[in-house]
């Protein structure tokens, strides 16, 4: 079978790979039908994802059709349409025992530490497969994965209706967070540097927007929160100084959620945390949130249709990544399609 492998940064190739066979552990064979291109895939391609191990078959937003099941499979059937969880964990370290396998001490993420979804077939454990809603085409269903990331950070933030949330950055990550945060009933302020994205945020239900190119972040948040500051802030920009900026705009007893992988130092001090008794919490990947995302779709609370802006056949992944590098302003989500 064919697969897309990143041999080292900027070296992407179509390779021949042995078609996987199922066994008692990886007991479901999935024929991949669509796979999204995510910022972290681009990071591995560019060599900026410190977690990546090369060479790697990338891709972690993968959906497909069950084509074979092992004897110990209880629920899934051949023909089921599924999305595959990208997180694999050891099951017995402290984090795993606490039910937080997404930060397992021996975490292995498909498409990052182990081979991912840019290939024709994957053999995976049944428990890592979630049946897709019938209403959702394969290509739109890749958006379930970014949705789980958004659900994870809102749950880490304990976001609720009395909160005033600041989302910094309204790219792919920020706009997914906005959709999920909306469901909590919280009031939402979105900050970005691109007017088009801010217009889209307003259309998607943001209450206020701030253009950081020409407006003062702290002053505007103060204005929109009657001087108090945000009660929750989520960093979907993940730049060098976004953490310190969010700590400044977050009010007393607030929560600040980090999602970035930046390793550039930024200046913070104890008083800015202690004085407000801020909770600064990381949110990484997602912790078994696929069921919740799928439930929201089935209940009609979330519509992922029409999210894909561009499609490429998976054999043309190089073209897709080159196009993504062009930073064309029309790019929202690119998906690789498989026959
Ligand atoms: Mn992703
Ligand atoms: Zn573990």
- Looking at all shown ligands, the one closest to residue 83's CA atom is 1
Phi, psi angles (nearest 5°) of residue 81? -95, 130
How are beta strands 230-235 and 250-258 bridged, if at all? parallel
Degrees (nearest 5) of the Cα angle 286, 288, 294? 100
CA atoms of 155 and 192, how far apart (whole Å) = 23
Tokens for 279?
């909770």
- Span from the CA of 112 to the centroid of ligand 1 (angstroms): 11
Residues around ion ligand 1, judged by CB within 5 A, are 38, 61
CA atoms of 190 and 221, how far apart (whole Å) = 10
Other Cβ atoms within 10 Å of 74 Cβ, number: 8
Q: Each residue's pLDDT tens digit in the chain (339 positions)?
A: 999 999 999 999 999 999 999 999 999 999 999 999 999 999 999 998 888 999 999 999 999 999 999 999 999 999 999 999 999 999 999 999 999 999 999 999 999 999 999 999 999 999 999 999 999 999 999 999 999 999 999 999 999 999 999 999 999 999 999 999 999 999 999 999 999 999 999 999 999 999 999 999 999 999 999 999 999 999 999 999 999 999 999 999 999 999 998 888 999 999 999 999 999 999 999 999 999 999 999 999 999 998 899 999 999 999 999 999 999 988 989 999 998
Please give the model's pTM, rounded to 2 decimal places: 0.96
* SS3 (DSSP) at 90: coil
- Looking at all shown ligands, the one closest to residue 35's CA atom is 1
- Span from the CA of 209 to the centroid of ligand 1 (angstroms): 25
Q: For the chain, give the number of residues.
A: 339
**Nearest Cα to Cα of residue 29 among 74, 75, 77, 96:** 77
């Amino acid at each position: 079978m064919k697969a897309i492998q990143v041999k080292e940064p900027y070296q992407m190739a179509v390779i021949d790979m042995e078609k996987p066979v199922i066994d008692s552990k990886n007991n479901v064979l999935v024929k991949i039908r669509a796979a999204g291109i995510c910022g972290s895939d681009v990071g591995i391609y560019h060599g900026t994802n410190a977690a990546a191990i090369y060479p790697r078959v990338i891709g972690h937003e993968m959906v497909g059709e069950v084509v074979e099941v092992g004897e110990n499979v209880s629920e899934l059937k051949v023909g089921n349409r599924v999305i595959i969880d990208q997180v694999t964990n050891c099951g017995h370290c402290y984090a795993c025992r606490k039910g937080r396998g997404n930060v397992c001490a021996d975490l292995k993420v498909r498409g990052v530490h182990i081979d991912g979804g840019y290939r024709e077939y994957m053999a995976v454990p049944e428990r890592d497969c979630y049946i897709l809603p019938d209403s959702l085409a394969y290509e739109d269903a890749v958006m379930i994965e970014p949705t789980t990331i958004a659900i994870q950070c809102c749950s880490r933030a304990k976001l609720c209706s009395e909160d005033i949330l600041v989302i910094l950055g309204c790219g792919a990550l920020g706009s997914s967070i906005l959709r999920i945060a909306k469901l909590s009933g919280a009031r939402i302020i979105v900050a970005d540097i691109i007017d088009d994205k801010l217009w889209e945020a307003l259309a998607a239900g943001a209450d206020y927007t701030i253009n950081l190119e020409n407006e003062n972040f702290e002053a505007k948040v103060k204005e929109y929160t009657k001087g108090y500051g945000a009660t929750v802030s989520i960093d979907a920009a993940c730049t060098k100084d976004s953490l310190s900026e969010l700590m400044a705009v977050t009010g007393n007893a607030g929560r600040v959620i980090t999602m970035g992988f930046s390793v550039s130092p930024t200046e913070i001090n104890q008083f800015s945390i202690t004085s407000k008794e801020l909770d600064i919490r990381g949110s990484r990947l997602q912790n078994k949130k696929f069921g919740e995302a799928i439930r929201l779709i089935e209940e009609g609370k979330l519509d992922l249709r029409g999210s894909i802006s561009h499609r490429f056949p998976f054999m043309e992944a190089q073209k897709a990544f080159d196009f993504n590098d062009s930073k064309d302003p029309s790019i929202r989500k690119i998906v690789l399609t498989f026959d």
